[in-house]
């Protein structure tokens, strides 16, 4: 049986915590898209682990698989595995031979292209994710399986690297000096990546992903499919072009692992929702509170938004720790956006949701949600929408119609988690029931704090 975990919003919904709780019953945890642009924190036996590529289940003794839909930076992979080993763990990580490899030139190009794009820049993580998926679609990528065969690796590099050099120097005007020169040097790349291939082979890490997983399922094992990022960052269903280059939605779970849609459809697809919104990067956000310079479109830091909105935004940002883990930059925040959630629930066919960060909103007098949008058409007409419009320009012309709920007080959240659903403050339950009713799915768990034990668990999808 499979359980697929999908981010319902813009990433950072707390998927790692859910994988951590439900993953205990899983034998295998698979990532199906993205690469080391993700970031999850796993707390296990009192130790905190920060991972960006290795599936979080590997910390807990599950087999962790990077599916064919992932893009793999072998340097990050081995750094993370080595660190886990140094800390006394024995992670069992497998990598799909069909997964594509992030090469150093992808990172260089990601950084430079972002600078060139100006207003169209998605604010990428500069890990080379987009350029690697571009090469995959352009049929000039290097796959994990190619690293195992020096002849094939050399042939691929000899074809693609001259093109990358030309792109770097002639289009982007990059000076190929020092480390940057090595990123475009066939011999250096060949030696480095051949060695990565030798290590992958020596440790028996590569698999034919779909076959490997199907055999496990046929043997009665439980498989968890772990999405990274979120629905509104999906390259088809998100806020294009301010998206990532893969499919965080449940369709990505089938293409990105080699398991059939019917196999995944027999299991559960759980949408992970944060009780409010946060966003790294630009693009429309109709329920945004206040703004963040450089990320909120047309935001003027001098005049700001209205003071109450800025104050609320700061409160939620501080309570929720909505600051970049590396840069410390504030993230954009906003009220929960129901059109965005309806879109996510349909796109992935959620069978249930988990709502996180309910404790973060505690202490507010009232809590709002964007129930629907009023969109101004180009002709100046107004239309009510209950889901997100297809183009980003239309989305930018949407104003949220807010509904107001009573706020809920602070509580002893550890006790609430222990005592269960009925122990949640009544107003919080009313808020959650509204969300579940609108999406027509049950709530399987509610996150009321950062720790794993601070979760009200109502259903175990593997049970
Ligand atoms: P990329 O995935 O590095 O190409 O970045 C594309 C967009 O996705 C940017 O707006 C990033 O901020 C966003 N993004 C990528 N990974 C994450 C994530 O794990 N959480 C939240 N946003 C992300």
The answer, yes or no, to whether any atom of ligand 1 lies below 6 A from the CB of 11, is yes
> How does DSSP classify residue 119?
G
What are the phi and psi torsion angles at 179 (to 5°)?
-60, -35
Ligand 1 contact via 9 beta carbon (within 6 Å): no
Could you give the CA distance from residue 190 to residue 147 in angstroms, rounded to a whole number? Answer: 9
Per-residue pLDDT at 336: 98
The yes-or-no verdict on residue 307 having pLDDT over 90 is no
Helix (H, G, I), strand (E, B) or coil at 41: strand
Q: Name which of 65, 74, 63 is nearest 33 in CA terms.
A: 65
Ligand 1 centroid to Cα of residue 16, in Å, is 16
Is residue 40 annotated as part of the catalytic site, yes or no? Answer: yes
Question: How far is ligand 1, taken at its centre, from the CA of residue 453, in Å?
Answer: 28
pLDDT at 304: 65
Catalytic position from the list 27, 36, 40, 185: 40
pLDDT at 433: 98
Nearest CA to ligand 1 atom 19: 38
CA of 185 to the centre of ligand 1 (A): 28
**Average pLDDT for 161-188:** 95
pLDDT at 20: 86
Mean pLDDT on 31-43: 89
Structure tokens, 356: 């996180």
**Ligand 1 binding pocket mutation candidate from 281, 284, 327 (most atoms within 8 A of CB):** 281
Residue 356 near residue 14 (C-beta atoms within 8 A): yes
Ligand 1 in contact with 339 (CB < 6 A)? no
Least confident of 143-157, 307-321, 418-432: 307-321
More confident residue, 257 or 38: 257
Residue with CA closest to ligand 1 atom 2: 244
Is the pLDDT at 118 greater than 90? The verdict is no
Report pLDDT for 24: 87
Is 102 a pocket residue for ligand 1 (Cβ < 6 Å)? no
Q: Which tokens in the block code for residue 77?
A: 């992979």
Cα 243 to ligand 1 centroid, rounded to whole Å: 7
Provide the β-strand partners of residue 7: 272
Give residue 383 CA to ligand 1 midpoint distance, Å.
31
- Determine how many CB atoms are found less than 10 A away from the CB of residue 2: 25
Examine the residue annotation and report whether 36 is marked as an active-site residue of this protein: no
For ligand 1, atom 1, the nearest C-alpha belongs to: 124
Picking from 227, 239, 245, 230, the residue whose alpha carbon sits closest to that of residue 114 is 245
Structure tokens at 254: 């089938």
Residues comprising the chain, all counted = 463
DSSP per position, 199-214: HHHHTT-EE-HHHHHH
- Give the mean pLDDT of the chain: 94
Q: What is the pLDDT averaged over residues 149-165?
A: 98
Residue with tokens 């879109």: 343
**5-18 pLDDT per residue, tens:** 999 999 999 998 89
Q: Is 39 in the pocket of ligand 1 (CB under 6 A)?
A: yes
Atom number, ligand 1, closest to the C-alpha of residue 280: 12
* Mutate which of 244, 281, 331 for ligand 1 pocket (most atoms within 8 A of beta carbon): 244
Q: Give the Cα separation of 24 and 20 in Å (integer).
A: 7
As beta bridge partners, residue 289 has: 333
Could you give the angle at the alpha carbon of 346 between the alpha carbons of 341 and 350, nearest 5°?
Answer: 80
Q: How confident is the model at residue 325 (pLDDT cuts 50, 70, 90)?
A: low
Phi-psi category of residue 380: left, alpha or beta, with phi > 0 → left and psi -120 to 50 → alpha: left
Q: CB neighbours (10 Å) of residue 94?
A: 23
Residue nearest to atom 20 of ligand 1 (CA): 11
Q: In sequence order, what are the residues at sequence separation of 6 or more whose Cβ sits closer than 8 angstroms to the Cβ of residue 277?
A: 9, 10, 285, 287, 288, 332, 333, 334, 335, 336, 337, 340
Residue to substitute in 71, 124, 274 for testing ligand 1 pocket (most ligand atoms within 8 angstroms of CB): 124
Kindly state the tokens that stand for 217: 């399922």
Of the chain, the percentage scoring pLDDT greater than 70 comes to 99
Please tell me which residue in 12, 36, 185, 359 is annotated as part of the active site.
12
- Asked if residue 233 lies in contact with residue 244, where contact means CB atoms within 8 angstroms, the answer is yes
* 327-339 residue pLDDT tens: 778 999 999 999 9
Handedness of CA 128, 83, 78, 210 (dihedral sign): negative
């Amino acid at each position: 049986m499979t359980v697929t975990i999908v981010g319902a919003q813009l990433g950072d919904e707390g998927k790692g915590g859910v994988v951590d709780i439900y993953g205990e019953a899983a034998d295998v945890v698979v990532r199906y898209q993205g690469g080391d642009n993700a970031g999850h924190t796993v707390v296990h036996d009192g130790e905190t682990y920060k991972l960006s590529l290795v599936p979080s289940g590997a910390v807990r003794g599950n087999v962790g698989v990077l599916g064919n839909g992932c893009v793999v930076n072998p340097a990050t992979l081995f750094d993370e595995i080595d660190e886990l080993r140094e800390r006394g763990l024995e992670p069992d990580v497998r990598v799909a031979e069909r997964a594509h490899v992030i090469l150093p030139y992808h990172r260089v190009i990601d950084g430079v292209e972002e600078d060139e794009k100006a207003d169209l820049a998605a604010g990428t993580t500069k890990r080379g994710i987009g350029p690697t998926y571009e090469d995959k679609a352009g049929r000039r990528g290097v796959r994990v399986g190619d690293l195992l065969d020096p002849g094939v690796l050399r042939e691929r590099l000899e074809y693609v690297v001259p093109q990358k050099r030309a792109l770097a120097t002639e289009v982007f005007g990059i000076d190929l000096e020092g480390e940057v020169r090595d990123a475009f040097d066939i011999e250096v790349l060949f030696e480095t990546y051949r060695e990565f291939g030798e290590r992958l082979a020596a440790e028996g890490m590569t698999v034919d992903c779909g076959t490997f997983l199907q055999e496990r399922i046929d043997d009665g094992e439980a498989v968890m499919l772990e999405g990274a990022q979120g629905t509104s960052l999906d390259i088809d269903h998100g806020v294009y072009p301010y998206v990532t280059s893969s499919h965080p939605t449940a369709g990505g779970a089938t293409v990105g692992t080699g398991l059939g849609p019917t196999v995944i459809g027999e299991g559960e697809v759980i949408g992970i929702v944060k009780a409010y919104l946060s966003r790294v990067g630009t693009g429309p956000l109709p329920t945004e509170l206040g703004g963040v310079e450089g990320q909120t479109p047309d935001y003027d830091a001098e005049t700001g938004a209205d003071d109450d909105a800025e104050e609320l935004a700061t409160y939620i940002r501080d309570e929720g720790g909505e600051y970049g883990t590396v840069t410390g930059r504030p993230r954009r925040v906003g009220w929960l956006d129901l059109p965005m959630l309806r879109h996510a629930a349909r796109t992935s066919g959620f069978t249930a949701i988990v709502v996180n960060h309910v404790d973060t909103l505690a202490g507010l007098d009232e809590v709002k949600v964007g129930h629907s949008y009023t969109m101004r058409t180009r002709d100046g007409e107004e239309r009510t929408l209950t889901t997100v419009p297809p183009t980003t320009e239309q989305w930018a012309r949407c104003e949220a119609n807010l509904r107001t709920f009573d706020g809920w007080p602070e509580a002893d959240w550890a006790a609430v988690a222990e005592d269960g659903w009925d122990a949640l403050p009544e107003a919080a339950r009313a808020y959650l029931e509204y969300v579940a009713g609108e999406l027509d799915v049950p709530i399987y768990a509610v996150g009321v704090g950062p720790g794993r034990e601070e979760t009200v668990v109502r259903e175990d999808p593997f049970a």
